[in-house]
Amino acid sequence: MHEGLLAIWHDVVPGKEAEVSHWYNTEHHAERLSVEGFLSAHRYRLAGGEGRQFLSLYRTRTPAVLSSAAYRARLESPSPRTREIMPTYRNMSRTVCRLALQQGVPEGGHLATLAGAGAPPDPARVFSQLLQRPGVLRCRWLLPEDPALVARSTAEGALRGGDASVAWAALVDTNEAQEALDVLSALEAALRPAQVAQRAAYRLVYAARGDCGIS
């Protein structure tokens, strides 16, 4: 069984970035990680390219965790702070994914992300080549697990006014920001003529495991 991965890209209303980051740090990530089956949370901020300001990645034991009763209960009962924060989201993209392929193990402080629409290409050969580059640590390939898991409406989703999704995504961990930008160019050239929805480099600002709990 593949691991699950919830991939969330979004912008926020200008001037609300610090408030959203504080909410993530002090409430939202820990709340999600308290749900059975959530393994880790990583949050990134845009460092270059043409993507959303924020990227959050939640790793789960299986994709089914993201349609579990416990998780749905969270989505249907937003906290007071969540009700204040969610309407500040803009350009929301949320996709329930399975980890279809991973090459390499270490995590890096920067992440190159290429996400697209249409039929997914085959990234295996490209990933093997990228891992020969200095500073490239890990390559992951995400595919949607079940469109129904993305499309179903929730109380949280209604606060945001609707979510887009992606048909595939490549995530490549690197040591440095410039390496992530260089990987983006190599990925896009190698996967052409894939239909790219966004291409961006991010820096890691938060990471936690699912055993952190909440007070």
* 49-71 pLDDT, tens digit each: 989 999 999 999 999 999 999 99
pLDDT digits (tens, 9 = 90+) for 89-105: 999 999 999 999 999 99
The total number of residues written for the chain in this structure: 215
CATH number reported for the structural domain that contains residue 59 in this entry: 3.30.70
- Assign 215 a pLDDT band (cuts: 50, 70, 90): very low
In 3-state terms, what secondary structure has residue 82? helix
Q: Locate 168 and state its tokens.
A: 């595939």
**Tens digits of residue pLDDT in 191-213:** 887 888 889 999 999 999 986 44
Q: What is the mean pLDDT of residues 8-17?
A: 97
215 within some domain: no
d(CA 59, CA 56) in angstroms, rounded, equals 10
Distance of CA 99 to the CA centre of its chain: 12
User: Which residues constitute the domain of residue 158?
Assistant: 4-209
For residue 172, what pLDDT is reported?
Answer: 98
Does this model's pTM top 0.85? yes
Q: Is 167 within a domain? A: yes
- Number of compact structural domains in the chain: 1
* 214 in any annotated domain: no
pLDDT at 152: 67
**Residue at 141 is within a domain:** yes
pLDDT at 97: 96
21-51: b (≥16 Cβ within 10 Å) or e:
bebbeeebbbbbbebebbbbbbbbebbbbeb
pLDDT digits 0-9 by tens, 72-83: 999 999 999 999
Task: Kindly report the number of other CB atoms within 10 A of residue 91's CB atom.
Answer: 14
Q: What is the pLDDT of residue 198?
A: 87
